[in-house]
Amino acid sequence: KMAQGLLQRITTRGPQLLSAAMASAKPRLATFWYYAKVELAPPTPAEIPRAIDSIKGLVRSFQSGRLAQLTVREAVRNGLVATEVLMWFYIGEIIGKGGLIGYNV
């Protein structure tokens, strides 16, 4: 009896709930796709020299001791970015191997 009442409520209010969910999801998906096109795109040939220059600048700042002058917030942010890059690398390795352990040889 209780399941029948639940089923009846789902069938009567289901389309309303679905349309409300779709209405709230559309702007969020539009925002996601806007940023996904920009952030998840591979680098263009013009961006590669800029990336190399920024890495050289990071090495120079490390050699000059500037890294010791970072605030805690900057150090945590840099650590989180480095962790994210490593995790994407590991996820790519897992996908490439087809499993968590070893390669099929």
SS3 99: coil
Indicate whether this model's pTM tops 0.85: no
Q: Domain for residue 26, yes or no?
A: yes
Structural domain that includes position 26: 1-40
| Structural domain total, the chain | 2
Q: What are the tens digits of pLDDT across the range 46-76?
A: 999 998 998 898 888 888 887 778 889 988 9
> What distance in Å separates the CA atoms of residue 95 and residue 104, rounded to the nearest whole number?
13
Overall average pLDDT of the 12-38 stretch: 86
Q: What are the tens digits of pLDDT across the range 88-98?
A: 999 988 888 87
pLDDT at 70: 82
Q: Domain for residue 10, yes or no?
A: yes
Q: What's the gap between Cα 33 and its chain centre?
A: 13
7, 29, 6, 9: which is closest to 17 by C-alpha? Answer: 9
Q: Domain for residue 51, yes or no?
A: no
pLDDT at 105: 63
